[in-house]
Amino acid sequence: MTTGPDGAPRLSVIVAAYNAAATLEAAVLSVLDQVEVPLECIVVDDGSTDDTPAILAALAARDPRVVPVRLAANGGVSAARNAALDVARGTWLAFLDGDDRLRPGGLARMLREADEGDLLAVVGQRISTDGDRTWYPALYEKDDIRRAGRKSIAANPDLLYYVGPAGKLFHRSCAEGLRFEGRMLGDQPWVVRALVRAGDRIGVVEEVVYEWWRPNPTHYVATITSARTESAALGIEAVGMAGKAFEVASAAFAEAYDPATRARLEGVYAARLVRSDLGPQVRGAVRRNDPLLPGMLDALAGFVDRLPPGAAASSDAVSAELLEPIARHWSAISADARGAFWGLLGAARRADPDVPGHARLAAVGAALRVAAVPVVGRPLAGVVLRTLCAAAEARRRVRGQPAARPAGMHP
């Protein structure tokens, strides 16, 4: 683990920070404590208006490994990471948000794996914490992510569920020419392309290397992650970025793999975007009764319509994550949101004619019973809903369950 011939650090750790005065020192110290690794810690202050600049200046004065970069105006986490890439000198790249922390020894463990396995990317484990407890994100409970070994995107497609930059190392050669884009989901295309470029030289280690801060409401601190689901306006932006991310990933799959592998990976990635990124946006907007929910549903219909044939039909993600939350709260959402729902439902049907057969839609069919009858001027929607209801009730009868009747709705 030596420096390069020009004395450059072996590893560049990129830290994006915006109004992170409450968390930045702990984040940076978690990097500087990795004394086994010759590194530089590039901290980009993304136009903060709190005490972040002063804290960063003090950290840089105490430790020459800290490289401060100050952006005049807030441009978002992608702009911050790009600014750091422009000055990074390391052969390897790692990323940390200014509200998260690295686990002791994590960087050394991943670099050791890279050396021993002649790898181009290393994936470590990430846990969530709220300050009182820690847990593994449910969507990461997959063998491709959790089980150690040498892997590739083609052979281990569930790695696509873990395509944020956190908790990973990337060899510089995998990142040449790649840029982050957008405030929402702008990291995923970068990571997907880097991992595809790594081919079968991706190593997964079982050690936890990264702590992802998910604050408990009792001691809430605004974070990069929490800000993403606080408004439907950001949700609409997330839907647009999800579409771009899918297009970039699909192009990367097409360039690297045969058509069958490409189609399989497209299905996995589409489901991942819906389950991990878009579903939480819908649930948050419904919970807040956000006035921009109709616009979000319109955007989601466009997203589903742009998916290639078969991508949405490869799982029940659209039904479970986008349709069901609306149906369960039908009586509480606005008339405009109900109107936008029909467009989303139509897009889901076009993408997957078997939508009524999805097990999770048993609840949707029952919840929308009231809407199946009075649809005026929407005969197709009425037919679809009646089909959903019939499928749901048939399924419940087979199981010996009583007919579903959600609270606040009538048969």
- What is the phi-psi region of residue 177: left when phi exceeds 0, alpha when psi lies from -120 to 50, beta otherwise? left
* Predicted pLDDT of residue 387: 52
* pLDDT at res. 6: 63
Q: Provide, for the chain, the percentages of residues in helix, strand and coil under a 3-state DSSP scheme, each rounded to the nearest 5.
A: 50, 15, 35
Place of tokens 């959600």: 406
What lies within 8 Å, CB to CB, of 6 at 6+ separation is none
Rounded distance, CA 262 to CA 26, Å?
41
Cα 304 to its chain centre, rounded Å, is: 17
pTM for the structure as a whole: 0.84
pLDDT of residue 146: 96
pLDDT value of position 122: 98
Count Cβ neighbours within 10 Å for each residue of 248-258 and write b for 16 or more, e otherwise.
bbbebbeebbe
Q: Which of 91, 93, 75, 89 is nearest to 15 (CA)?
A: 93
> Which element (helix H / strand E) includes 96?
strand 92-97
Q: Which amino acid is at 117?
A: G
Q: Which helix (H) or strand (E) holds 61?
A: helix 52-62
Grouping H, G, I as helix, E, B as strand and the rest as coil, residue 344 is helix
Would you give the DSSP letter of residue 1?
A: -
Distance in angstroms (rounded) separating the CA atoms of residues 346 and 344? 5
pLDDT of residue 357: 56
Q: Consecutive sets of 10 residues in the chain, 411 residues long: mean pLDDT of each?
A: 66 97 97 97 98 98 98 95 98 96 97 98 94 86 97 98 96 97 88 98 97 66 46 89 96 98 98 95 93 96 95 91 90 92 91 68 50 43 50 47 37 27
User: Which two three-digit tokens encode residue 129?
Assistant: 């914490």
- Alpha carbon 303 to chain centroid distance? 16
pLDDT at 232: 80
**Side chain identity at residue 116, one-letter code:** E
Per-residue model confidence (pLDDT) at position 184: 79
